[in-house]
Structure 1
Amino acid sequence: MNLDIELVHKLQIMREWFLIHQASDKVIYIIGFLIFMSLLVVLLAKRFHVPIVVGYVFLGIALSVNIIEWLPFLSEEAKEWYAFTTESFDYIATFALAFIAFTIGSELSVKILRSLGKKIIYIAILEATGAFIIVALATFAITKTLYLSLVLGAIASATAPAATVMVLKEYNAEGLLTSMILAIVGIDDAIALIIFSLVEPLALGLYLGQGDISIVHALVAPTIEIGGSILAGLLIGYFSQKFISNMEDKTKKILTLVSTIVGGSAIAIFLHLSPLITNMFIGFAYRNFARKNLGIAEYMETLTVPLYALFFILAGTEIRLDSIASAGFLILAFVYTIARVIGKVGGASLGAHLSDAPEKIKKYVGLGLLPQSGVAIALAYTVQKHFIGGESSLTVFNNIPLSDNVGLLVFNTLLFTAALTEVFGPLATKYAITKAGEIGEH
C-alpha cells in the first residue's frame, strides 16, 4: 500500500514537472522538424534515384545526439531536451513495426505459399541458421568469448522487414522473387526468436558461471509465445476482416484498420506475446479469409508514409558516435557485418539450390534479407538487461580491448551495424529486383 502511495506521488511530481516545462511542446517541435526534413529527403532521393529509406537513415545519423551536442549555437538545455525527447519515441517504432508486420502478412496468400512450397522453408531456415553459425564462429575467432559469440550469432539471424518492404513498395515490385522475399522476411523473425530463445539462456549461464539451463525457459516459453501470437493474430484478423468487409465508408474502414493493428499490438504486449508475429498473422487473415478485395491497400500506403519516415530517421539518431570510436569495437562490428552478410546470402543461396528454386531466386534472394533493426535491436535490449553482474574482460585478437559491459557492447554493435545495413540493405534489395526484372512503374 505504501509503495502504491509513493508511486502515485512520484507520478504527480512528474506530471507537474512536464506541465511546467512544457514537454509536449518540445515533442511537437522535434516531430515537426523531422517531418519537414523527411520531405527534403524524399525530394533528394527521387532526384538521385536512391531508395528513400537510405536518405531517412542518413538524416537520422546526421541528427544523432552526438552530432547535435557539437552544435555551438544551441544551449545546453536545448541539447538535453533534444536527447531526452528523441529517446522517448520508442512507441513510434512499436507502431511502425506493427504496420510493417501487417503489410507483410497481407502479402502472403495461401496460394503463393503453396506454389513456393518447400523453397520457402529451405531458404528461411538456412539463411537464418547460416547467419547464426557464421557470425558465432567469426566473432569467437577474434574474441575467444563463447557467450558473446552465441548472443551475437543468435541476434544476427533476424532480418528487419521494414526497409525491404519499403523498397519493394516504392518500386512497385512484383514477381516470384518479390513474393519469395516477402514470405521469407515474414517468417524469419519467428525462426530468429526460436534461435535466440534457445541460445540466450545458455550464453547467460556461461557468462554468470552457472551450468543450469531451464528447459522451460529454453524451449517451452518461446513455443508458447510464437504459437500464442499466431493464434491471437488469426482470431483478431478473422473477426476484423469480417467486420470491415460489410463497410463501404472510408472513415469507418480506416478506423477499423488502425484499431485492429494498434489493438493487436496492445493485446500481444499485455499477453506477453510477439506484437510483430501477431500483426503479421492479422494481415495474413485479412488476405486469406476475406471473400472479396477489402480495398485497404491505398489506405495503408497513405497512413504509413509519415510513420515510416519517423521510424527510420529515429533509428539513425540511435547511433552514439562516442561509443563506436575504439579500434576494438570497429573490428568487432566489421567482422559481425561481413560474417552476417556471408551467412544470409550463402544460406539463402544454398537453400534455393537444395530446393531447386528458379535461377533468379538462387542468385538474388539473399540480397533482400540484409537489413537488420527492429526485432534484432529488441533482442539486443534483452541482452543488455540480462547480462549484468558477471565477470568480463573482453578483447579482440587477445590484446585490443573491448567494453567491459557485455550488454552495452552487444547493444551498440547492433545499433551500429543496423544503421549500416539500413543503408546498403535497401540498395542491395533494389539491385536484386532490378536484375530479376521485377521493378514496376513508379
Structure 2
Amino acid sequence: MLTSGVGFFFNNVVMPKPVLNFMLIGMAFSAAFSNMITEKRLEQIMQAFNPFLGIAMILVILNLGAPLDYHLIMGAGMFTAIYIAARALGKYFGAYFGASITKSPQTVKKYLGFTLLPHSGVSLVFTGIAVSVLSGPAPECAQIIQGTIAAAAVINEIIAVIAAKKGFEWAGEFGNGAAAVRAPEEGICHE
C-alpha cells in the first residue's frame, strides 16, 4: 500500500502527467523486499499470501479476457503466425546463445528454448496495457494487437506446452526432482 501511495503521489503531484506503471512499481518492490528478508521468512509470507495471489491472478486474467472480442482472433491470421514464429525463434536462439556464452551443458543449449515457449499471463497483461494506450490514438492497431496476442495465447497453450514437455523429456529432466531426496544432516543428495 505504501508503494502504491508513493506511486500515486508521484503520478498526480510530482509528474506533469501520469506516466508510472503500477505493475512495474509492484514488481520492483517485491524484488527488493524478497531480497531483504531471509528465505525462511519469505517462505512463511508466501504460504500465507498464496491464496490471495491465486485469486488476484484469476481476477487479472478474467479482466483481460472479458473485453476481448473473440472475432478478432480469426482476423489476426498473418500477424499471429509472424508473432508466434518470431517469438519461438527468439526464445530458442536466445536461450541457445545464452547457454553457449555461459558454457552450459549441451542439454541446456539444445532444449532450454523449448521449455520457454508457453505463453504467460505477463504477455496478456502487457497486451492490456498496450491496448489501453492505443485505443484512443490508434484503435485499429489496438484491435490487431489484441487479436494477435489472444490468438497466439490460444495456439501457444496447445502447441508450446507440448513442445516444452518434449524439451524436458529430451533433456532427461522428468523425474529428476522427485528422485533426489535431500539429507539435511549430511547436506548431500541421494537418488
> Does the Cα contact within 8 Å between 1:104 and 1:165 map onto a contact in 2?
no
Quote the residue 1:275 is aligned against. none
C-alpha contact 2:83 2:148 (8 A) present in aligned 1: no
- What is residue 45 of structure 1 aligned with on the other side? 11
Q: Residues 126, 41 of structure 1: CA spacing in aligned structure 2 closer, same or farther, 3 A cutoff?
A: same
Higher CA-based Rg: 1
User: Which of 86, 92, 101 is residue 130 of structure 1 equivalent to?
Assistant: 86
Identity of aligned residues (%): 9
Residue 121 of structure 1: how far off its partner (Å):
0.5
Q: C-alpha displacement at 1:68, in angstroms? A: 4.2
What is the aligned partner in structure 2 of residue 183 from structure 1? 147
Residue in structure 1 matched with residue 168 of structure 2 by the alignment: 204
The yes-or-no answer on 1:389 pairing with 2:179 is no
- The amino acid of 1:163's aligned partner reads F
In the superposition, relative to structure 1, how do residues 389 and 130 fare at CA in structure 2: closer, same or farther (>3 Å)?
Answer: same
Aligned counterparts, 1:324-343, within 5 A: none
Match of 2:22 among 35, 55, 64: 55
Cα distance in 2 between the residues matched to 1:389 and 1:58:
36
| Contact 1:157-1:192 at 8 Å conserved across structures | no
Q: Which runs of 5+ in 2 are unaligned?
A: 100-105, 178-191
Q: Compared with structure 1, are the counterparts of its residues 182 and 42 closer, same or farther at alpha carbon in structure 2 (3 Å cutoff)?
A: farther
TM-score using structure 1 length: 0.32
Choose which of 64, 77, 86 in structure 1 pairs with 2:49: 86
Please list every run of 5 or more consecutive structure 1 residues that lacks an aligned counterpart in the other structure.
1-33, 71-75, 209-385, 391-442
Identify which of structures 1 and 2 has the higher relative contact order when contacts are C-alpha pairs closer than 8 Å and 6+ apart: 1
- Tell me how large the CA RMSD over aligned residues is: 3.4
Alpha-carbon distance in structure 2 between the residues aligned to 1:183 and 1:138: 26
Aligned match of 2:114: 150
| Structure 1 match to 2:102 | none
Contact 2:61 2:121 in 1 (8 A): no
Corresponding position of 1:419: none
Q: Which residue of 1 aligns with 2:188?
A: none
**Partners of 1:157 and 1:91 in 2: CA distance:** 17
- The residue correspondences of 1:288-327 to structure 2 (distance < 5 A) are none
Q: Report the secondary structure of 2:68's partner residue.
A: helix
- Pairs within 5 Å for 1:222-233: none
| Alpha-carbon distance in 2 for matches of 1:49, 1:388 | 52
- Partner-residue secondary structure (3-state), 2:171: helix
Query: Cα distance, 1:50 vs. partner?
Result: 5.4
Residue 167 and residue 68 in structure 1: after superposition, are their counterparts in 2 closer, same or farther (change >3 A)? Answer: farther
Aligned 1:6-45 pairs, distance under 5 A: 34=1, 37-45=3-11
- Which residue identity lines up with residue 204 of structure 1 in the other structure? F
Q: Which amino acid aligns with 2:65?
A: A
TM-score computed with the length of structure 2 as normaliser: 0.65
Are 1:69 and 2:37 matched, yes or no?
Answer: yes
> Partner letter of residue 176 of structure 2?
G
Partner of 1:163: 126
Q: Number of aligned pairs?
A: 163
By how many angstroms is 1:92 displaced? 1.0
| Cα displacement (A) at 1:151 | 1.2
- Looking at structure 1, the residues matched to 18 and 175 of structure 2 have their Cα atoms a distance apart, in angstroms, of 42
